[in-house]
Amino acid sequence: MDDETCKMVQGYDRILYISCNPETLVENLQRLGQTHRISRCALFDQFPFTHHTEAGVWLERL
């Protein structure tokens, strides 16, 4: 997410973040972690036999 989108979603009480890019997920979670905590997370192999793995993260406002 770009900076403006991160800032906007930080206004929500709960965020369901779905990502297929672990590098940008970590970057965005560092920012979202200022206002939210991770309460659940899961990995999904939507495309078997490829290197892609999707992540779902449930965040709740601190």
The active-site residue, picked from 4, 6, 54, 60, is: 54
Instruction: State yes or no: is 41 an active-site residue.
Output: no
The active-site residue, picked from 6, 20, 23, 41, is: 20
Residue of 34, 1, 35 whose CA lies nearest to 17: 1
Amino acid in position 60? E
Instruction: State yes or no: is 20 an active-site residue.
Output: yes
Asked if residues 40 and 16 have their Cβ atoms less than 8 Å apart, the reply is no
| Active-site annotation, residues | 20, 54
